[in-house]
Amino acid sequence: MRKILVTSALPYANGSIHLGHLVEYIQTDIWVRAQRFSNNSVHYICADDTHGTPIMLRAEMEKISADELVKKVHEEHSNDFADFNIKFDNFYTTNSQENKELSEHIYLTLKKQNKIEKKEIEQFYDEEKSMFLPDRFIKGACPKCKASDQYGDSCEICGSTYTPTDLVSPYSVVSGSAPIKKKTEHYFFKLSECSDFLETWTQSGTLQSEASNKLKEWFKTGLSDWDISRDSPYFGFEIPDAPGKFFYVWLDAPIGYMASFKNYSVRNKLNFDDFWAKSSDAELIHFIGKDILYFHALFWPATLKYSNFRLPTKIYAHGFLTVNGEKMSKSRGTFITARSYLDTIKNPDFLRYYFFSKLNESMEDIDLNLEDFESKVNSDLVGKFINIASRTSGFVGKYFDYNLMDSNNFVSKESKGYIKNIVDLKDEVSALYEDRQYSKLARLIMSQVELINEFVNLKEPWVLAKQENQHNENSELHEVCSTALQAFRLISIYLCPVFPRLGENIQTFFNDSFESFEQVSSSALKINKYEHLLKRIEKKDIEAMVNLNLD
């Protein structure tokens, strides 16, 4: 049995969860549930990322304290995740005592290792707000293509990267005033000294090959030292022995994985070092978006190595979500929040299945085409999958008192063959989940669903039921319906990691509890009366969701 600690990237506590976020959490949650169905020991950890200038300014705008803001957002995020059946073992916050202590410990260890350096730098300063401005709070014209209203770190028009002081006619996003240049002292992590280690580590197999190849670009120009401090006013942890200086949010955010697990381990009597010490034999798996790859594959492993903690086993990066082939847009109503989906479409399993059918092991973007979403869910789940149970269970209830024929007692080679084929997929199903090849797995499982539907169409149980000699327990009618329902049960076990809510209802239908892929070796003996399991998606509900999100 493997011992695995899994994390998803920490959502920033400055806004609502949207469908783009859910790509990652659904991908990870499916993987974690599949690991449990493979009888591995898994702990799934996450937290809200709560520090930084944007949090401070939003709290100021809402006339509440930053602490109050992050508590309010944490409750909202927690509810959204729970209602999408994202089952964290611990969903915590980076604004915690555990995170403060671990961040200070790691910083002081890095300092002892001579990996911290103090430097004087020049930054933009907003005199009206009496604060230094982070890159994203400065705008101006791009120094390369002269496009206006570009952020202080990169141009969205030509793709150039630069420093804020390169901007033409810069202005403060906070006050609108022209900032001045001002000198200040900052603390830097000597990432440049970690280059040899990181170049080897990023090519070690921990990352996807496309991620490893992308990171090679960073080593061509040489790694720069990493600025890990920010000046007051700033919402975060103050750096030890450096009054008015705070840890940059990206220093303490990934440490939040450790802090969340620390909080969880104390409450559940687990040994923190079993998972985070250098000698740990547990696996540490990070799921992230490709936009934060360099933080997790350069800054984070270097921080861990030189503060004497273990390194990640795997880092799995995924692509972005587009809607109807374009970036999510508030003006088009396609910047869709998790809550607006739940308020209109209602069933989270529909989105979970759709993402499952699209995702693979690569960093490719995926598209949520709303017409395809409606069509695919209604066709695959309602028209094909649930159809197996809805069209055969009535005969079993009416003529056989809800008793199923044990698949071991099937007479027909054909019936035995259908069941054997599905049972024999167990190792392949488990491997495809492991490798995150979800779209391939969806096609494999739906091919079995289609075969069973073809079998039912061919055997026509509704015709058999009209023949009086078919109403005994050894009849062809009983075997045909039992074959379909036993196959439906096996496929449901394979799909349980994808749609937990529907899975629970199917378990009730079979008087069973699905907990392991090993259960495909057994048969169900009885069903309950069939109750409606899924309602089709209506076009009007999708339209209502889009209208809710119109800017």
Give the integer Cα–Cα distance in Å for 6 and 445.
Answer: 26
pTM of the model: 0.95
Query: What pLDDT score was predicted for residue 96?
Result: 98
Mean pLDDT on 511-537: 95
CA dihedral 278, 284, 290, 294 (to 10 degrees): -10
Mean pLDDT on 511-538: 95
CB of 454 within 8 A of CB of 493? no
CB of 517 within 8 A of CB of 37? yes
CA 304 vs CA 34, 140, 281, 300: distances in Å: 28, 36, 16, 6
| Amino acid occupying residue 445 | I
CB-based burial, 256-279: b 16+ in 10 Å, e otherwise: bbbbbbbbbbeeeeeebeebbeee
Query: 102 pLDDT exceeds 90?
Result: yes
For 323, the 3-state DSSP assignment is strand
Beta carbons within 10 angstroms of residue 80's beta carbon: 23
Cα end-to-end span (Å), the chain: 49
Domains of the chain: 3-108+248-355 (3.40.50.620), 116-189 (2.170.220.10), 377-521 (1.10.730.10)
CB of 523 within 8 A of CB of 493? no
Of the listed ranges 190-199, 324-333, 386-395, 506-515, the least confidently predicted one is 324-333
Query: What pLDDT score was predicted for residue 440?
Result: 98
Query: 525 pLDDT exceeds 80?
Result: yes
Residue 522 token pair: 């057994």
**What would the pLDDT profile of 149-183 be if each residue is shown by its tens digit?**
998 877 878 877 788 888 999 999 989 999 999 99
**What would the pLDDT profile of 32-77 be if each residue is shown by its tens digit?**
999 999 999 999 999 999 999 999 989 999 999 999 999 999 999 9
The CA R_g of the chain, rounded to the nearest whole Å, is 27
Give the integer Cα–Cα distance in Å for 393 and 511.
Answer: 14
Query: What pLDDT score was predicted for residue 6?
Result: 98
Helices 500-509, 348-358: axis angle to 10 degrees equals: 110
CA dihedral 149, 155, 156, 159 (to 10 degrees): 160
Give the integer Cα–Cα distance in Å for 154 and 312.
Answer: 29
Query: What pLDDT score was predicted for residue 220?
Result: 87
Mean pLDDT, rounded, of the chain = 95
For 151, the 3-state DSSP assignment is strand
